[in-house]
Structure 1
């Protein structure tokens, strides 16, 4: 059943309230907040690549406070073990049996700080939990809870002792974005309130974890017309056919676009997708999924340039044809 215009209006109102609330702690970054909120409601995960001190940890804490859910933080280091992330089974001598001790991944919002500092083995420990919201220890599967959002960070200015994330793991992030430094006005506000060590402590409670899941279900019923779905498919195909790319956008990436675009449309009070939803999200959702040919990288080609040419070459549908099944 497709979302009604009235439901879309209520969705947009709640979405905007959450963005405004987070904006009281993360000053001057409404676009980043909207993207992270979209990822959460779409059931995806976020990769933030930014310099230290730009508010990445504050964003995760503020989001957890606004929806009253459990959050945790892992500082990734080269000596971090997979069991430090997922948990471990320990023999309890007093009880005469093995018991599972859950790791920090068992939370609703997980901040994986400087994820590229951990070894590939430890990075891979996040693969199953990001895809399936569960971990398997000694043959037993444990659900981590729902909703579940991973906000992973990378530091782009200090690469010594880091391990590049494999393409398989990058593809599991719904979107990649950046916080960036605030403008002068926002910086002055931050400096004026420097006595407040943790702005997330004053965050207003907006919704519960169940509300997040309910909004996600509502957004999943936004009407996706066949013409818009074809537009997404042709754009993905264009990235694969581009001579500069070794690996283009996967089917998983195309599905991620549909999921995120539905949330994006509902956040604007619409009960249907339009091509502009795809254009708004194509950079954050697809740029990190492209693997360029070495020659293209050497000549200065960027994933954003490949996506820009795909948008110029693939014609966007001009009219919205209603889908009879809601796609």
Structure 2
């Protein structure tokens, strides 16, 4: 799918797009139980054209969540299992020699899609991880010096396991900073787990989303209208100052050895805008910034070793930072 210029959207078009994006949560819930926050985060990422890092133990429906989201948004998706022997060309594509024509032709890799599910991205060597950097930042892939644009929208939804580090390659800070959001998928509560079991007992098949009733509720045109509307959400000078103050405060926190970069500040501005628009407003409030601070910033900071030894979490530090920054009236 490629994005083409569209005429100025009417107020009715914008409201229809907002309703369609809000309906995605209910649609995904037909397949995934109890992960509303992660669904909302993924919708925000699609609106902002950003990438998402999904973290959770095995079996909390990370892959199913991405597949259900792409089905509800009518977007193409491909899955790559990142393994220690995966090569860069296995992701981006490569030139293949055709003996009949005596010429090389390009064979696109799975990165040429709307949503690339990079499963267990930290299990592949840095060389293959780095092959995604150009795609994530420039929305293109260069093969033999020839840039090839990726579909629009394009986002990487990468998963990693937070409890098993044997045979893994931690993502470098430069790559982590290119993810718009880091979403954590917790284990379900008892009621949600019982609901999961009830659905499976009734014959639910995770591989058959259509059979589960998941359908497309937003069109590519509505996604384009929504993304354009998000870019027009107003932000006052005071709220801009609040975003800057929050990010600057992370650089002065005694618990952090690495604070949020200016790229992180612009990411927080983007996600707060998207959340404000989904909430039905055309302006950003400090509460929007607070709501998106943890998922937008948690992977952009580093704890000091002594803070880790004391059992301090990144989210707790961010809560402390938010509590220390004056909120504009």
| TM-score normalised by L of structure 2 | 0.91
Asked if 1:308 is matched to 2:319, the reply is yes
- Work out which of the residue numbers 133, 138, 143 in structure 2 matches 1:137: 143
Secondary structure of the corresponding residue to residue 90 of structure 1: strand
- Work out which of the residue numbers 91, 94, 98 in structure 2 matches 1:88: 94
- Work out which of the residue numbers 118, 123, 128 in structure 2 matches 1:122: 128
Q: Which residue is equivalent to 2:104?
A: 98
1:117 to partner: Cα distance: 0.2
1:14 to partner: Cα distance: 2.3
CA contact (8 A) 2:17 2:222 kept: no
CA contact (8 A) 2:140 2:147 kept: yes
Q: 1:185 and 1:305 mapped to 2: Cα distance?
A: 27
- The list of structure 1 runs, each at least 4 consecutive aligned residues, that deviate by more than 3 angstroms after superposition, is 3-12
Listed as ranges, the matches of 1:42-191 within 5 Å are 42-191=48-197
CA contact (8 A) 2:18 2:226 kept: no
CA contact (8 A) 1:60 1:151 kept: yes
Deviations 1:192-238 (A, max 9, x none): 22122135223121122332222111111101111001000011111
1:12 to partner: Cα distance: 3.8
Q: Which residue is equivalent to 1:285?
A: 296
CA contact (8 A) 1:4 1:271 kept: no
Secondary structure of the corresponding residue to residue 257 of structure 2: strand
- Work out which of the residue numbers 207, 210, 222 in structure 1 matches 2:221: 210
1:8 to partner: Cα distance: 6.6
| TM-score normalised by L of structure 1 | 0.92
Q: 1:297 and 1:28 mapped to 2: Cα distance?
A: 29
More deviation, 13-22/74-83: 13-22
CA contact (8 A) 2:17 2:225 kept: no
1:7 to partner: Cα distance: 7.1
1:306 to partner: Cα distance: 2.5
CA contact (8 A) 2:39 2:69 kept: no
Q: 1:227 to 1:142 in 2, by over 3 A?
A: same
Aligned length: 317
Q: 1:284 and 1:79 mapped to 2: Cα distance?
A: 31
Q: 2:12 and 2:289 mapped to 1: Cα distance?
A: 23
More deviation, 60-69/77-86: 60-69
**Unaligned residue ranges in structure 1 (runs of 5+):** 319-327
Asked if 1:221 is matched to 2:232, the reply is yes
1:62 to partner: Cα distance: 0.8
Q: 1:224 and 1:56 mapped to 2: Cα distance?
A: 33
Q: 1:209 and 1:60 mapped to 2: Cα distance?
A: 17
Q: Which residue is equivalent to 1:255?
A: 266
Q: CA RMSD in A?
A: 1.9
Secondary structure of the corresponding residue to residue 150 of structure 1: strand
CA contact (8 A) 2:82 2:118 kept: yes
Q: 1:285 and 1:4 mapped to 2: Cα distance?
A: 31
Asked if 1:37 is matched to 2:43, the reply is yes
Secondary structure of the corresponding residue to residue 106 of structure 2: strand
Asked if 1:200 is matched to 2:209, the reply is yes
Q: 2:18 and 2:222 mapped to 1: Cα distance?
A: 14
Q: 1:150 and 1:210 mapped to 2: Cα distance?
A: 21
More deviation, 203-212/131-140: 203-212
Q: 1:190 and 1:309 mapped to 2: Cα distance?
A: 35
1:188 to partner: Cα distance: 2.4
Q: 2:222 and 2:139 mapped to 1: Cα distance?
A: 18
